Structures are given as structure tokens and as C-alpha cells.
Structure 1
């Protein structure tokens, strides 16, 4: 592996770590939401079914129903409150991956170029 390839991969690592951390924070939030619902003896179907949970994250307004119990409403509000931050952090992670990879590849190629000329 030459230095530009190593720079490319190393440059992508911070963005990937940031994205994984964002996903871990989302999982923790969902676990807290499940706990709130469970403590009140209610059921939150969107958290039990992963595909429904993904649908809730991207089409949230029609899924908050007036018939929801107080714990389910609180859980949905917890998730909705973090929705924009979650999506923004994923966009940042994407930017960090692409930007870091490009900068790392450039610096790797530059270091190889400089080392061959000295």
C-alpha cells in the first residue's frame, strides 16, 4: 500500500468514527424511549419493529397519533427532538469521510513526492 492509499484510508477514519458514534447515540436514545414506554406498561410498536422505526424517523408527522398514550407520546417526542441532529450529524460524517479521504490522499501523495525528490 503506498502512502496516498494509506492517507486516503486514514483520512476517512475520523468521519467513520463520527458517524458510528452518531448511530450509537441514536441506539441509546431508542433504548431510553423503550424504557420509558415499558415503565408505563405501554407498547411502542415503532421501536419493536426496525422497519417501522426507520419509517418513523423519516415520516414522523403522520405517526404521532392523538390516541397514543402518554409514555408513547413522550418516547416519540424524544426521538423527534433528536431527528434533525441525527440527520445533520450523518451529513457531517459524510463530509468528514470524503474531505478527510481527499486530504489524506493528497498529503500521502505529497509526502511520497517530497521523499522521492530529496
Structure 2
């Protein structure tokens, strides 16, 4: 593997792992929301509709529908409670990737220049 590619991947790895960890936490919160809805005898299937995902991510005022029961409302409120933190963590991960990848490439180039070339 080319050392520049290796630097690119290693530089982006912290941001990528941060994004993956965030998505794992969101998935756990979705499972908890479904559990809360089931405790009230209701069904919350977050993945059944594209509108729910869209509303959760980009239009939170429309995420809770008037037709939702109390269990689904509680579950959706749990999700809305983590939404802002989720977005902040995702942006931090993206910034880490944007900064880390060029830094990794530069570090690999500097390593090649100063340690692998004969002087």
C-alpha cells in the first residue's frame, strides 16, 4: 500500500470511528424508543417510513404526529432528546475526517522525505 494512502486512511480513522460510534448510539436510542412504545402496547418502527427518518433528521417539529399514541410519543421524545447531540457529534466526526486526512497525507509525505530517502 502506498504510504500516502496509508496516511490518508490513518488520518481519517479517528473521525470515521467517531461517526460510527455516534450512529451506534443513535441505534441504541432507537431500540430504547421501540421498547418504550412496546411497554405501552404500541409499535414504533423507525425504519418503516422514509418520512420518519427525514422528520427526525431535518424536520423535528413534524416528527411526532397527532395520530401517535402515548407510548410512541414517549419513544419519539427520547429520540428528539438525543438529536442535537447526535448532529454535533456527526459534525465533529466530519471535521476530524476533513482535517485528519490531509494531516495524515502530509505526515506520510514528511516521513517519506526525511526518513526513507537517502541524504
Normalising to structure 2: TM-score of the pair? 0.87
**CA gap 1:50/1:117 in 2 versus in 1, 3 angstroms:** farther
Are 2:53 and 1:54 equivalent residues in the alignment? yes
**CA gap 1:50/1:69 in 2 versus in 1, 3 angstroms:** closer
In the TM superposition, what is the alpha-carbon distance from 1:12 to its structure 2 partner?
0.8
After TM superposition, the structure 1 stretch with the greater mean CA deviation from structure 2, 70-79 or 27-36, is 70-79
Structure 2: tracts of 5 or more residues without a match: none
Point out the structure with the larger helix share: 1
Structure showing greater relative contact order (alpha-carbon pairs closer than 8 Å, 6 or more residues apart): 1
Contact 2:42–2:72 under 8 Å retained in 1: yes
Structure 1: tracts of 5 or more residues without a match: none
**CA gap 1:97/1:50 in 2 versus in 1, 3 angstroms:** farther
**CA gap 1:117/1:50 in 2 versus in 1, 3 angstroms:** farther
CA offsets 1:51-74 (integer angstroms, 9 cap, x no match): 233123121202323453221111
Contact 1:16–1:97 under 8 Å retained in 2: yes
In the TM superposition, what is the alpha-carbon distance from 1:48 to its structure 2 partner?
4.7
Residue of structure 2 equivalent to 1:72? 72
Contact 2:42–2:69 under 8 Å retained in 1: yes
In the TM superposition, what is the alpha-carbon distance from 1:30 to its structure 2 partner?
0.2
**CA gap 1:93/1:50 in 2 versus in 1, 3 angstroms:** farther
User: What CA distance in whole angstroms lies between the structure 2 residues aligned with 1:110 and 1:81?
Assistant: 45
